[in-house]
Amino acid sequence: MGETKHAGPTKLSKKPRPDLWVSKVPFGLGKIKPHHLRDTLKVAWENKDNLPYATRILTQGVCDGCALGVSGLKDQTLVGPHLCTTRLNVLRLNTMPAIDEEILHADIDELRSMDSTELRKLGRIPYPLLREPGDRKFRRISWDEALNKIAEKIKTIDPKQLAFYLTSRGITNETYYVAGKVARFLGTNNIDNASRICHSPSKTALNRSVGVGASTCNYKDWIGTDVLMFWGSVAANNQPVSTKYMYAAKRKGTKIIIVNPHFEPAMEKYWIPSNVESALFGTKLADDVYQVNVGGDIAFTHGIMKHWFEMEEEEHGSAINQTFVQEHVNGLEELEKKVKSYRWEQLEKSSGLSKERMRELALLLAKSKSAVFVWSMGLTQHRFGTDNVSQVANLALLRGFLGREHCGLMPIRGHSGVQGSGEMGADPFVLPGSDMDEENRKRVEQYWNFNIPDWQGDIVGVTLENALLPRNHERNLKLYYMSGGNFLETMPNPEFVRQCLENVDIRVHQDIIFNTSTLLDAKEAVIVLPAMTRYEQPGGGTSTSTERMVYFSPEIKGPRIEEARSEWEIYVDLAKRVKPNESDLIDFKDAAAVREEIALLNRNYDGIQYLKEKGDVFQWGGAWLCEGGVCPTPDGKGNLIPVELPELRKPEGHFYVSTRRGKQFNSMIYGETDPFTDADRYDVLMNEVDGRKHNIADGDAIVAYNKHGFFSGRAKFAPVKEGNIAVHWPEGNSLIPESVYETYAGIPDYNAPVIVERAETYYAYKDTKYAEKRIEELELEPN
Ligand code: SF4
C-alpha cells in the first residue's frame, strides 16, 4: 500500500503528431474500422423516448460498462470527455420501458424462439414472475408471494444446497457486500461472482506474488512509461477509452508491445473519436507484436527470463535489477533453477516464438527503466491461468517494475462491478477485508454478531455441477439465486449447463432483463425478480474501477419500473423472511448505512462512507500498491514463483482454439460483424498458411470439432498464429469442455484442441466411422 495519492487528471497536448498517424486520408476512409458517429446516432435514436434521462445518466452516473471507470464524462487520467460506444450501447438497458404484457406472458416456446439479443431488446422485467412445471407462461406474482416462496424453500434445505451468484454489469459494491453477508447469515458460503470466469487467477496470482490482488498502478502510469505491454488483452475493443491513454503514452515515447496469438487490428491502429487528431488520421498503437501460441505464455516468459539469466552470467546487473531483488524479493535461486531447467527447443516449441525473438523483448525490457504490464482473459482463461499471471509478476519483480511511477501490474477489468465483488466478500474464499481464514472469520463474526459457516463454499462451475448430484447428497443444489448472469452463454458446454440449470428445484433470476437462461425449466419453480439499475437505487451506489478508484453513482431522477427494487434491499428482505427472529442482525437503514459498514469491515475501503455526491471518488491503497517495493506480504517482500511449463499435447495437424470478443459487451452481442476485423460471429479466424495446408480457402464453410462439440462457420484469414484459431465467445463455447478448472482460482479453461475441416469433408464423412475415429484421436488429450 502506498502513501502517495493519485494526483488527478492531466492535460493532453493538442500539438499534432503526424508520426503517429495511421494515414493522411481523413477518418480512415476505405479502411475497416468502427463508425463511431453512426453508432452514436443509432444510440440516440434508440433512446429517443427517454433522451433527457439518458443524458442525465451519461453526465451524472458512473459508467456501468467496463471497469476503466468514469464518473459522468470525467475520469482521473486525462482532462477531457470520456465516452465510448460500449457505454452508449448498454445505455438502453437503463432507459427502456417494461416488456410488453402480451409478450411477457406469451407461450414460453415463443419466448424461447428468441436469442438473448432479441430478449434484451424486449425491455425491462416489470414485476415478479413465476413459472412452475407444466406452466406454458410466466405468471405475475406479488413480491410477498415470490420472497415467501424462496424463503420457505431455504428453510427446508441444507444451507450447502443453497447458492448465490452475482454478475458484474451495473451491480454496486453495496449489493455485493449485502449479498455476501446475507449468504453467510443464511448459513452458506456458496456465493460467487463473475470474476470467477474472468480475473480470479489475477487476484490469486497477485496475492501470492505481491500480497495484494488488485492493480498495483494507475492508467496515468501508462503515459510516459518506457514499455506498455498488453498480454492477451484487446483493451482497444473491451475498454475503448483506454486507447486515449495509449495515444497519450505514445506521445510521451512509450513503446506499446502486444503479446497475443492474434494480432488484433484494434491494437494495431485506432481512430479515437474524442481526440480530433486521432479521429481524423488515426493513431498507430502497437510498436511490436509477439504472436505466441494459445497457452504459450509461460514458455515465452521463461524464455525472456532465461535470456536475462544468461545476460547476468556475462555481466552482473545487466538484466536483473539486483538492488531491488536483494531488498524486496524472495525466491531468486529457485526461480533461476526452474527457468534454466528448460531447453530453448522446449520454450520455442511451446511459445511458438524463436529464441531470437524472445531475446529482442528480453533486451528491450532489460534496458527499460519502467514498464507497465496489462493483461486480460488471454492469460487468465487457462487451466494454468494463475501461473500465467505469476510469470508476468516474476518479470516485474526481477526488473523492479513495481511500486513507483510508470511501473506496475494491471489486470484490466471488463465489467464495471467486478473489481469490488470479491473485495466485498461475494466470493466463496473471501470475507470483507481478507480471506476466509480463521482470524478474519472471527473478526467479521464479531461485527456481524452471527456465526459464519466454516466449510468451504463452491465456485460457480462446481455449484452448477452440484445440481446433478444425487438428491440426497448434502451439496445437491436445490436453490440457485442469481443476480444477473447467463450461464447458458458464459460457461463452457452450453448443453451441460442447461442440464444443470434445469435440475435445480428453484431458480431465482434477479435481473433487469430476460436472457436465454431465464427461460429454462426448473424442477419446482423459476422465479424472476425485477431489479433496479444502479442509477435508480435510492441513496446511490458505488463501484470500483480497475485502478481501485471507488466511484459514487447517485440516484438519478427519471422514469421508473414501478415494482423494481434495489438489489441489496431484496437480499435483506429475503433474509428477514427466512430468519424473522434474527432480522435485526441483517438490517440496514439505507445505502449509506451499508457503506458505513463496508468502511468498518474492509479497511481498504475506509473513505467509502464519505461518498455522497455525484463525482465523489477515492482510490484505495494510494497511487501505487507495494510503493517503494514494500509488499503487503508477511515479510514485506514480493515472491518469485517458479512455474512449470504446461504440457500442451496437441496432435500434429490439429489446432488450439481460443475465444475472442467482437462487437459485444461481455456476453451481450451488439453487432453481427466485428467492426475491427469485419468478421461475422461465426467466422473462424485462421492463418492463411494453415488454410493452404488444409486446403481451405478464405470464406470456405468449415467445421471445427473435438470430442466435446463442433462449431460450423466460415474460414476468415487473419493474422492469427499458425496452428491456432480464434472463434467468437460465447458462440465458441460448444467446443470447450465442462469441468476443467484452473487449480488455484477455479476459472474454467476456455481453450481446447480441435480439428478443422472443410464442411463438405466433415459432413460427407459425418455418418461414417471416419468422423468417429478422428474424434477418438482426441481422447488422449488433456482436458
Ligand atoms: S471505456 Fe469503459 S468505463 Fe469508459 S465509457 Fe467506455 S465502457 Fe465506460
DSSP per position, 366-392 = HH-S-EEEEE-HHHHSSTTHHHHHHHH
Q: How many Å lie between the centroid of ligand 1 and the Cα of residue 62?
A: 9
Q: What percent of the chain has pLDDT over 70?
A: 98
Mean pLDDT of 396-419: 95
CA distance 376 to 491: 17
Average pLDDT along the chain: 95
State residue 771's pLDDT score. Answer: 47
Query: What is the chain's Cα-based Rg?
Result: 25
Buried b / exposed e over 251-285, threshold 16 CB at 10 Å, is beebbbbbbbbbbbbbbbbbbbbbbebbbbbbbbb
Give the type of residue at 39: D
DSSP 559: -
Report the chain's terminal Cα–Cα distance, integer Å.
Answer: 39
Min mean pLDDT across 50-54, 369-373, 571-575, 757-761 is at 757-761
DSSP 162: E
- Residue 649 and residue 782 in contact, taking contact as beta carbons nearer than 8 Å: yes
- Phi then psi for residue 541, to 5 deg, are -160, 170
DSSP 401: -
Give the type of residue at 150: I
Closest ligand 1 atom, residue 85 Cα:
6
Strand order in the sheet with 162-166: 139-140, 129-131, 525-530, 506-511, 479-483, 162-166, 191-193
Q: Which residue has the cell 435440475?
A: 503
State residue 782's pLDDT score. Answer: 44
- Asked if pLDDT for residue 777 goes beyond 70, the answer is no
Cell numbers for 697: 480457402
Closest C-alpha residue for ligand 1 atom 2:
66
Min mean pLDDT across 123-132, 160-169, 296-305, 350-359 is at 160-169
Residues making up the chain, counted from first to last: 783
* Alpha helices by DSSP H, 467-523: 487-490, 494-502
**C-alpha separations of 669 from 83, 116, 263 in Å:** 19, 8, 22
- Residue 757 and residue 711 in contact, taking contact as beta carbons nearer than 8 Å: no
CA distance 553 to 591: 12
Q: How confident is the model at residue 431 (pLDDT cuts 50, 70, 90)?
A: very high
Closest ligand 1 atom, residue 545 Cα:
3
The helix, strand and coil proportions of the chain, stated in percent and rounded to the nearest 5, come to: 40, 15, 45
DSSP H or E run through 192: strand 191-193
Residue 292, SS3?
coil
Q: How many Å lie between the centroid of ligand 1 and the Cα of residue 57?
A: 13
Q: How many Å lie between the centroid of ligand 1 and the Cα of residue 289?
A: 25
DSSP 582: G
Torsion of CA 441, 442, 446, 449, to 10 degrees: 60
Closest ligand 1 atom, residue 75 Cα:
4
Closest ligand 1 atom, residue 65 Cα:
7
Q: How many Å lie between the centroid of ligand 1 and the Cα of residue 544?
A: 13
Min mean pLDDT across 72-76, 80-84, 474-478, 763-767 is at 763-767
State residue 180's pLDDT score. Answer: 98
- Residue 711 and residue 683 in contact, taking contact as beta carbons nearer than 8 Å: no
State residue 729's pLDDT score. Answer: 93
* Alpha helices by DSSP H, 602-719: 688-693
Q: How many Å lie between the centroid of ligand 1 and the Cα of residue 427?
A: 25
Distance of CA 136 to the CA centre of its chain: 35
DSSP 623: S
Closest ligand 1 atom, residue 416 Cα:
3
User: What tens digit of pLDDT does each residue of 496-537 get?
Assistant: 999 999 999 999 999 999 999 999 999 999 999 999 999 999
DSSP H or E run through 417: none
Give the type of residue at 374: V
Mean pLDDT of 734-743: 94
Q: How many Å lie between the centroid of ligand 1 and the Cα of residue 239?
A: 6
- Asked if pLDDT for residue 738 goes beyond 90, the answer is yes
Closest ligand 1 atom, residue 241 Cα:
1
State residue 31's pLDDT score. Answer: 83
Give the type of residue at 335: L
CA distance 328 to 334: 16
* Alpha helices by DSSP H, 546-687: 567-578, 591-601
Q: How many Å lie between the centroid of ligand 1 and the Cα of residue 394?
A: 30
Show the ligand 1 pocket: residues with CB < 6 angstroms.
Answer: 63, 65-66, 68-70, 82-84, 86-87, 239-241
**Contacts with 285 (C-beta within 8 Å, 6 or more apart), sequence order:** 236, 243, 246, 247, 250, 256, 267, 268, 269, 270
Q: How confident is the model at residue 783 (pLDDT cuts 50, 70, 90)?
A: very low
- Residue 372 and residue 402 in contact, taking contact as beta carbons nearer than 8 Å: no
Q: How many Å lie between the centroid of ligand 1 and the Cα of residue 84?
A: 6
Beta strand extents in 308-407 (DSSP E only): 329-330, 371-375
Min mean pLDDT across 153-157, 272-276, 376-380 is at 272-276
State residue 766's pLDDT score. Answer: 66
Closest ligand 1 atom, residue 239 Cα:
1
- Asked if pLDDT for residue 611 goes beyond 80, the answer is yes
Ligand 1 pocket test, candidate residues 63, 272, 545, most atoms within 8 A of CB: 63
Mean pLDDT of 658-675: 90
- Cis ω on the peptide bond leading into residue 97 (within 30° of 0)? no
Ligand 1 pocket test, candidate residues 36, 68, 244, 272, most atoms within 8 A of CB: 68
Beta strand extents in 567-660 (DSSP E only): 617-619, 638-639, 655-660
State residue 26's pLDDT score. Answer: 85
Q: What percent of the chain has pLDDT over 90?
A: 89
Cell numbers for 675: 467492426
Cell numbers for 357: 525473438
Closest ligand 1 atom, residue 63 Cα:
8
Closest C-alpha residue for ligand 1 atom 5:
83
State residue 324's pLDDT score. Answer: 98
- Asked if pLDDT for residue 781 goes beyond 50, the answer is no
Q: At what angle do helices 344-351 and 355-367 cross, to 10 degrees?
A: 90
DSSP H or E run through 701: strand 701-705
Mean pLDDT of 75-82: 96
φ/ψ region of 474 (left if φ > 0, alpha if ψ in -120 to 50, else beta) reads alpha
Ligand 1 pocket test, candidate residues 87, 92, 376, most atoms within 8 A of CB: 87
Minimal CA–CA distance to 375: which of 417, 428, 411, 321?
411
**C-alpha separations of 379 from 136, 383, 422 in Å:** 44, 10, 19
Q: How many Å lie between the centroid of ligand 1 and the Cα of residue 180?
A: 27
- Asked if pLDDT for residue 734 goes beyond 70, the answer is yes
Q: How many Å lie between the centroid of ligand 1 and the Cα of residue 11?
A: 19
pTM: 0.95
Residue 668, SS3?
strand
- Residue 419 and residue 164 in contact, taking contact as beta carbons nearer than 8 Å: no
